[in-house]
């Protein structure tokens, strides 16, 4: 069901400052930036590698306000790893399957994610303390088995 690690999400106070750090320290490149009002974040994707069904990335996240998932996380825990996102071939199917196995799926239906993806979150308390995201990359027109 999980094809690859799509991204690791890192919460930060200052997106521009963290982008500059990752670029100069690891020679990584920003391939997308987006303000996602629904998720309460300003985010940037730094490309690591290409894999089956999509790439893998670091996602840097700055909250749009204190009363957002990332804003609350920063207040409670400070900067650090916020979530791990797995690539799946079909996010709606993965939500059904995983939900049927007793893990709380936080979204009733897939939401809009970065780079045109469809995403859904699994409750960290059911995932060993790790907020987990499911990601379906946009259909590129390639035949998926």
Residues that bind Co ion (CB under 5 A): 9, 59, 85, 133
Strands 4-11, 54-63: pairing is parallel
Judge whether 110 and 136 are in contact, CB under 8 Å. Answer: yes
In the bound complex, what is the minimum distance in angstroms from residue 127's beta carbon to ligand V0V? 8
Q: Are 120 and 108 in contact (CB under 8 A)?
A: no
Q: Taking the CB of residue 40, how many other CB atoms lie within 10 A of it?
A: 18
* Binding residue (CB under 6 A) for ligand V0V from 73, 95, 105, 118: 73
Of the ranges 19-27, 47-55, 68-76, 86-94, which one interacts with ligand V0V (CB under 6 A)?
68-76
57 touches ligand V0V (CB under 6 A): no
Residue 15 phi/psi, 5-degree rounding, is -60, -45
Closest to Co ion by CB, 59 vs 132, is 59
Which letter does DSSP use for residue 14 in this model? Answer: -
- d(C-alpha 100, C-alpha 118), whole Å: 20
Query: Do 11 and 47 contact (CB within 8 A), yes or no?
Result: no
Q: What is the contact mask toward ligand V0V in residues 77 to 106, using x (rule: CB under 6 A)? A: -----xx-x--------------------x
Question: In whole angstroms, how close is the CB of 80 to ligand V0V at the nearest point?
Answer: 9
Question: What are the residues binding ligand V0V (CB under 6 A)?
Answer: 9, 36, 39, 41, 43, 59, 61, 69-70, 72-73, 76, 82-83, 85, 106, 113-114, 119, 121, 124, 129, 131, 133
């Amino acid at each position: 069901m999980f094809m690859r690690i799509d991204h690791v999400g890192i919460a930060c106070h200052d997106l521009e400052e963290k982008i500059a750090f990752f670029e100069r320290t690891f020679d990584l490149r920003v391939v997308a930036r987006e303000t996602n009002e629904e998720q309460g974040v300003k985010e940037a994707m730094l490309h690591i590698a290409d894999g089956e069904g999509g790439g893998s990335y670091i996602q840097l996240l700055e909250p749009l306000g204190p009363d957002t998932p990332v804003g609350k996380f920063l207040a409670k825990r400070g900067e650090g790893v916020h979530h791990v996102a797995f690539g799946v071939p079909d996010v709606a199917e993965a939500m059904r399957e995983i939900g049927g196995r007793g893990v709380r799926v936080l979204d009733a239906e897939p939401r809009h994610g970065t780079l045109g993806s469809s995403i859904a979150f699994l409750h960290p308390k059911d995932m060993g303390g790790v907020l987990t995201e499911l990601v379906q990359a946009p259909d590129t027109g390639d035949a998926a088995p």
